[in-house]
Amino acid sequence: MRIALPQLPRILEPLTGLAELVASDETVSTAVIRHEDITGLVTRSFSASEVKFERINATQAQLVRTGFSDVELAACELIATALPESSWRRVHIKESRCSGIQLQNSTLKDVTFTGCKLNMANFRFAELFNAVFVDCALDEADFYGASLHNVQFKNCTLAKTQFSSARLKQADLRTSDISGVLGIGSLAGAIIDSMQLVHLAPMLAAELRITVADD
């Protein structure tokens, strides 16, 4: 699977004062922003293009309808950060804590999560196209009603991850632990390996109300 990574200029201008920029709905472009704290900040329609964020703390910030294009976030704190109805294109989030991040009703195209903690992440009714999760913890994440088209989970954990009413097309779950996923009846269109199928068999039987009897 080929995922387009952020296209960043070789030279980025260092910027400070992220809270003021976000609060004023400024569009930030061609910049690198490091070690800023916007914990609990509330705003709408913040946009960033060709920007690298490093070690930003946005815990419990409410950033509704955020627009990201060619953006990289590294070692950021996005715990319980509310980003509903956002539009992301060519975004890479790496080595970040994103527990409880809220991306419901968002559109994510060419988005990569690498080495992120995404337990209890909310992707309800989101649309994911050409996305990949690598070495991520997605335990209890929620993809209810989401559309996953050409999405790959590589070496991830998905304990109690919810897929009910999701629509999957070329969603590759091989190499990941899916033994405890929920909404197994909505995994049509997923790609799994034979060993995963063995582990899913009891849940599939229960979902289809099949009685297994050996005598």
pLDDT band, very low/low/confident/very high, at 18 (cuts 50, 70, 90): very high
With 0-12 / 13-18 / 19 or more C-beta atoms within 10 angstroms meaning exposed / middle / buried, residue 35 is exposed
Confirm if 4 and 24 have CB atoms less than 8 A apart: no
Q: What is the pLDDT of residues 48-97, one digit of tens each?
A: 999 999 999 999 999 999 999 999 999 999 999 999 999 999 999 999 99
CA distance 4 to 24: 30
pLDDT score for 205: 59
For residues 25 and 45, what is the distance between their CA atoms, to the nearest angstrom? 6
pLDDT cut 70: percent of the chain above it: 93
Distance of CA 14 to the CA centre of its chain: 27
CATH 2.160.20.80 assigned to 13-207: yes
Cβ neighbourhood burial of 148 (10 Å; 0-12, 13-18, 19+): buried
Q: Residue ranges of the domains in the chain?
A: 13-207
Lowest mean pLDDT across 3-17, 151-165, 176-190:
176-190
Q: Is the pLDDT of residue 128 over 90?
A: yes
Q: Model pTM greater than 0.85?
A: yes
179 touches 198 (CB < 8 A): no
How do residues 145-178 score in pLDDT, each as one tens digit? Answer: 999 999 999 999 999 999 999 999 999 999 999 8
CA 116 – CA 73 distance, rounded (Å): 11
CA 137 – CA 201 distance, rounded (Å): 23
Is the pLDDT at 213 greater than 70? The verdict is: no
Backbone φ and ψ of 53, nearest 5°: -105, 125
- Specify whether the CB–CB gap between 121 and 101 falls below 8 A: yes
pLDDT at 138: 98
CB atoms within 10 A of CB 56: 22
For 22-45, write each residue's pLDDT tens digit: 888 778 999 999 999 999 999 988
d(CA 112, CA 57): 19
| Six token digits for residue 19 | 């809270």
Distance CA(20)–CA(17), nearest Å, equals 6
